[in-house]
Amino acid sequence: GAVVSQHPSWVICKSGTSVKIECRSLDFQATTMFWYRQFPKQSLMLMATSNEGSKATYEQGVEKDKFLINHASLTLSTLTVTSAHPEDSSFYICSASPDRDYGYTFGSGTRLTVV
Amino acid sequence: DAKTTQPPSMDCAEGRAANLPCNHSTISGNEYVYWYRQIHSQGPQYIIHGLKNNETNEMASLIITEDRKSSTLILPHATLRDTAVYYCIVRVGRGGSNYKLTFGKGTLLTVNP
């Protein structure tokens, strides 16, 4: 149990366009999901906490107008990278936890390349 | 959340036990120790967590010192597929809460044939 599905696995987009990444909890409900970003050879950096039915909480230094997060249901959170630029190219990962004594489950990640 | 210190890299022979240390000398009484690993270009995978007692599951064992200032993750029979970056994280609360995970640099474990 406790599966988190992330889509797409990889995406290439042109500079200036927007890209949406989906994160779904398949067999549990998640009132909270987390979005991370990882640059090559670096650790995961938390970007924001996605809360179902309310505004996301962004970490310091993360532009909320650039990284739009929507958590419209208990099983789906989306991250939209708006007006993407090459420096936004990165590995984006989401995570969530079922409401029991269980470690957080991570999605398989989305490799974004902006050209 | 308390910070952790891990060696940047370790090597292990296939079939042998891999012992990965983690120092968390500033851990608070209500903070749990979590271990995750990340295989290249994949999302992190939960391994095990504990508060103060030693824990074992099908993947690994977690040994926490009596003063809780350090812990060791043990992979009893390492395989080539265990090559990954292993993260030790301390965090308030148990799974299912809203408390976020903060990742350090972790330990790159390389299992050699």
A104 closest CB neighbour out of B48, B95, B104 = B95
**Phi and psi (nearest 5°) for A113?**
-120, 120
Q: Across the strands, what pairs with A67?
A: A81
**B86-102 pLDDT, tens per residue?**
999 988 765 554 577 88
Q: Which of A36-40, A69-73, A97-101 has the lowest mean pLDDT?
A: A97-101
C-alpha to C-alpha distances, A9 to A14, A29, A72, B60, B89, nearest whole angstrom: 17, 22, 21, 29, 26
CB contact under 8 A, A43 and B104: yes
CA pair distance B13, B7, nearest whole angstrom: 17
A43 closest CB neighbour out of B43, B98, B103 = B103
**Greater pLDDT, A50 or A83:** A83
Interval B19-37 mean pLDDT: 93
What is the DSSP secondary structure assignment for residue B67, as one 8-state letter?
A: T
Q: Which of A90-94, A98-102, B17-21, B93-97 has the lowest mean pLDDT?
A: B93-97
**Greater pLDDT, B84 or A52:** B84
Chain A residues touching residue B98 (CB < 8 angstroms)? 31-32, 49
pLDDT at A69 over 70: yes
